[in-house]
Amino acid sequence: MPPIRDPLVLSLLILAPAIGVVAQEPGPTLHIVRTSRPPELQDFVSGAASPDRTDNSGAVAVNDFRQRDPGDGNPASAPTTAYVTYDDANLYVVFVCKDAPTLVRAALAKREETTADDAVAVYLDTFRDRKHAYLFLSNPLGVQADALVTEGQDDDYSFDGVWQADGRLTPDGYVVRFAIPFRNLRFPRAPAQTWGIALVRYIRRNNEESYWPYLTKRIAGLVPQFATLEGLRDISPGRNPQAIPYGAFTGARFLDMETPAFRTASDRRVGLDFKGVIRDALTLDATVNPDFSQVESDEPQVTINERFEVFFPEKRPFFIENAGYFQTPVNLFFSRRIADPGAGLRLTGKAGPWAVGAIGIDDRAPGQAVASEQARIGAVRLEREVGHESTVGMLASDRTLAGGANHVVSADTRLTLTKTWIFTGQAMATHTRDTSGAGSSGSGWYANLLHDGRNLDYSGTYLDLSPSFETQLGYVKRVGIREFEQVLELVRRPKGPVVKVGPTFTTLFDWDRDGRLLDRSLEASFEVKLRGETKLVLGREQAFELFADHPFDTYLTKLTLESEWLKWLAGTAKLRLGTAVNHKPPKGTAPYLGDAAKGELGLTFRPAPRLRLDHTFLYERLTTRPDASPPGAPLSPTRVFTDRILREKLNYQFTRALSLRAIVDYAMVNRDSTLSRVDRQHRWGVDLLLTYLVNPGTALYVGYRDGYENLAILPGSPPALYRTDDPTTSVGRQVFLKFSYLLQF
């Protein structure tokens, strides 16, 4: 298959706006009235509220919940009623959910750890733009989760709002009460509001999502199908000034790998984050000496034989809020590139049909290597609604350091062509100048055609990045390529315990700029999904890879099993068997093909509502093949390397605010030095964290970390590091204390 050339993609980007854009039919309208008596949880627990149109606070009731999954359009499997009203300060939603008490899944857990529980949720499209929405979710015990929803992007659960959720189990199910302050929402400045709204109930044992209004998978997108919420009058978030001062102390003893020597260090840091609202819809954030500490550790990943950079998600507080405002189809702003900022300013929100995101910040980390210079960083993102449910946007970013600079500009569009077809396109240009003044320019194109339906999903994606394309603030694995990927999924949804069955076909081709094939992947898989969030997937991949000018044909047979059938136990098992390329052979040895085995096992135990135990084991092995061994290798199969990673994690929730987390990590990499140059590592560590989280702005963290590795210092002038057999040397020990407090004026 020949590579796709630039004019085709350019034509798609130019002609796509001319294609007819289809609007969704309007959904039902919910008209609510202001209450003088906010609904209380006890009123519904005691049965004082009636399941008809209103309760005794004047809240309007809705009860026609219908499934989106697994039975599209079927009534919810358990009776559900929601009551909606508001006063000057809050929007109130109370869910009354009927069910057998022994079947309800609910645990007292940390904020946002609700994925295994039954839950109810409220979606609010406060600008009625049919693209953006707030999501507020609670499990039956009032454990919260919230997110920003943007059509065409993954839900952004890094958003943390300050709101109330109270839940209680009852003899015939459970009741949850939401109180969502208007001061934490952004919406148009108008005397009467028209919003979009959707209410949802999740019943995990049935794989069930039931919505009011009825949201079908026969139409692409979720937010465009929301009901219209009317009756909200004379409300405002106000200026809502907020300040979050924080203090942090860290004491550490660590092994300096360069000297090498053991050193001690301490860091005392105080800072302030400030937030204000401009004209009800825009949020201005300012920060001085911001809190960029990362409390939660990254999940383990196998990285020793990877060709390209592995993605680790952002977890630092300042960057994660409203991160979706800076997202583009190709990730051109990846905040983990900013390591140690000193001060920053950010503006995000909506202004009429425009969505706005702007950030200016510095980064002190490069100064450790470049004459104490600080990197200056800025990014602006604008997006405008076009017609119904379509957008056009642009992004510009700039990073300067010690006379060098990296400039990036991008234009993109997302067009709803029909009820099930969506087109996304992006054009990019970069210019980089190094410290000597030499410069280079690059360009990139992206196009995606998506069909999102109930029984057929299709995605076709084309990506073209020139060799000199460079985005120092983005996450782009590879440049100098033309890539074309297609995914086709056919789904049948039978009734009974099997809720989904069908095949998925995936093709991927990469070419260089001269049309030479670099990678090819052809994969077919078959999935059977049952109730209880249980699924079995069997797949086969045939691939081609050109690495270091050596061609390789590889294959993998894949098996995945996942289940949450039991309330107290969830498990995941993955197995990959086939062949793989040794990307890190010894110096002077060409890469070669080996037999590969990869495995992953994850188990989650919930022996009590407050206790959660997570076990994760990752395994990867590469052995030589008799027909492809490097020169001098034994003819019989020989281990090239073996990588094992084990993580044991315990969470205990004393109250909704107070929790203890303990992690023990163990990792070991063994290799044959005549066959691989990966580093022989043997390490383990412990990570303890005590958290008192009142709300996302008010929290106390006390933590301890200690890591051991198979390293020792060889005395001499200068001293040197060498590998030992056992991980007995502490290479990093740290104690930290962090406190923040939310001040609302």
Inter-CA distances, 420 with 117, 217, 349, Å: 31, 9, 28
Claim to verify: residue 165 and residue 242 sit in the same structural domain: no
**For position 636, what pLDDT does the model report?**
85
Per-residue pLDDT for 10 more than 50?
A: no
Q: How confident is the model at residue 143 (pLDDT cuts 50, 70, 90)?
A: very high
In this structure, how many other beta carbons lie within 10 angstroms of the beta carbon of residue 387? 13
Peptide bond between residue 696 and the one before it cis (omega within 30 degrees of 0): no
Claim to verify: residue 698 and residue 671 sit in the same structural domain: no
Q: Tokens 């094939």 label which residue? A: 517
Claim to verify: residue 151 and residue 71 sit in the same structural domain: yes
Per-residue pLDDT for 12 more than 80?
A: no
What digits encode the pLDDT tens for the residues 469-510? 999 999 898 999 999 999 999 999 888 899 999 999 999 999
For residue 464, the SS3 value is strand
Claim to verify: residue 97 and residue 223 sit in the same structural domain: yes
Alpha helix locations (H) across 599-706? Answer: none
Q: Is residue 717 part of a domain?
A: yes
Claim to verify: residue 673 and residue 706 sit in the same structural domain: no
**For position 291, what pLDDT does the model report?**
66
Per-residue pLDDT for 370 more than 80?
A: no
Q: What is the mean pLDDT of residues 608-617?
A: 95
**For position 367, what pLDDT does the model report?**
52
Q: Tokens 């583009």 label which residue? A: 328
In this structure, how many other beta carbons lie within 10 angstroms of the beta carbon of residue 376? 14
Q: How confident is the model at residue 308 (pLDDT cuts 50, 70, 90)?
A: very low
Per-residue pLDDT for 161 more than 50?
A: yes
How many domains, in total, are found in the chain? Answer: 3
Q: What is the mean pLDDT of residues 573-581?
A: 97
Q: How confident is the model at residue 49 (pLDDT cuts 50, 70, 90)?
A: low
Q: Is residue 358 part of a domain?
A: no
Q: Is residue 352 part of a domain?
A: no
Q: Is residue 131 part of a domain?
A: yes
**β-pair type (195-203, 208-212):** antiparallel
Alpha helix locations (H) across 611-684? Answer: none
Q: Is 211 in contact with 65 (CB distance < 8 Å)?
A: yes
Q: Is residue 452 part of a domain?
A: no
Q: What is the mean pLDDT of residues 516-524?
A: 97
**β-pair type (29-31, 227-230):** parallel
DSSP state letter for 8:
H
Burial class (CB in 10 A: 0-12, 13-18, 19+), 266: exposed
CA atoms of 706 and 309, how far apart (whole Å)? 26
Last residue of a domain, one of 166, 198, 230: 230
In this structure, how many other beta carbons lie within 10 angstroms of the beta carbon of residue 144? 22
**For position 27, what pLDDT does the model report?**
77
Helix (H) or strand (E) holding 320: helix 317-320
Claim to verify: residue 657 and residue 518 sit in the same structural domain: yes
Least reliable range by pLDDT among 420-424, 445-449, 499-503, 677-681: 677-681
**For position 56, what pLDDT does the model report?**
59
**Residue 336 backbone dihedrals phi, psi, to 5 degrees:** -70, -10
What digits encode the pLDDT tens for the residues 446-474? 999 999 988 999 999 999 999 999 999 99
User: Containing domain of residue 537, as a range?
Assistant: 481-677
**For position 284, what pLDDT does the model report?**
87
In this structure, how many other beta carbons lie within 10 angstroms of the beta carbon of residue 718? 9
Q: How confident is the model at residue 310 (pLDDT cuts 50, 70, 90)?
A: very low
CA atoms of 84 and 39, how far apart (whole Å)? 9
Helix (H) or strand (E) holding 12: helix 6-15
CA angle, residues 606, 608, 613, in degrees to nearest 5: 35
Last residue of a domain, one of 639, 656, 677: 677
**For position 538, what pLDDT does the model report?**
98
CA atoms of 289 and 341, how far apart (whole Å)? 7
Claim to verify: residue 589 and residue 518 sit in the same structural domain: yes
**For position 8, what pLDDT does the model report?**
39
What are 341's strand-pairing partners?
Answer: none
Q: What is the CATH number of the domain that holds 129?
A: 2.60.40.1190
Measured between alpha carbons, how far apart are the two ends of the chain, in Å?
63
Per-residue pLDDT for 16 more than 50?
A: no
Write out the two tokens for 64. Answer: 């026609």
Q: Is 221 in contact with 416 (CB distance < 8 Å)?
A: yes
**For position 387, what pLDDT does the model report?**
81
Claim to verify: residue 512 and residue 573 sit in the same structural domain: yes
DSSP state letter for 103:
G
Per-residue pLDDT for 593 more than 80?
A: yes
Claim to verify: residue 104 and residue 249 sit in the same structural domain: no
Last residue of a domain, one of 660, 677, 694: 677
CA atoms of 587 and 77, how far apart (whole Å)? 63
Q: Is residue 24 part of a domain?
A: no
Burial class (CB in 10 A: 0-12, 13-18, 19+), 683: middle
In this structure, how many other beta carbons lie within 10 angstroms of the beta carbon of residue 230? 15
Inter-CA distances, 511 with 88, 278, 384, 479, 514, Å: 59, 48, 34, 11, 8
Taking alpha carbons only, the member of 273, 226, 9, 266 closest to residue 130 is 226
Claim to verify: residue 508 and residue 585 sit in the same structural domain: yes
**For position 523, what pLDDT does the model report?**
98
Q: Is residue 527 part of a domain?
A: yes
Per-residue pLDDT for 620 more than 90?
A: yes
**For position 343, what pLDDT does the model report?**
87
Write out the two tokens for 122. Answer: 């409220």
Q: What is the mean pLDDT of residues 314-323?
A: 64
Claim to verify: residue 499 and residue 581 sit in the same structural domain: yes
What digits encode the pLDDT tens for the residues 333-357? 988 788 778 888 989 888 888 989 9
Claim to verify: residue 82 and residue 66 sit in the same structural domain: yes
Q: Is residue 563 part of a domain?
A: yes
For residue 727, the SS3 value is coil
**Structure-model confidence comparison of residues 4 and 351, the more confident one:** 351
What digits encode the pLDDT tens for the residues 634-664? 878 999 999 999 999 999 999 999 999 999 9
What are 651's strand-pairing partners?
Answer: 612, 661
**What percentage of the chain's residues is helix, strand, coil (to nearest 5)?**
5, 55, 40
Q: How confident is the model at residue 2 (pLDDT cuts 50, 70, 90)?
A: very low
**For position 632, what pLDDT does the model report?**
77
Burial class (CB in 10 A: 0-12, 13-18, 19+), 715: exposed
Q: How confident is the model at residue 290 (pLDDT cuts 50, 70, 90)?
A: confident
pLDDT above 90 as % of the chain: 65
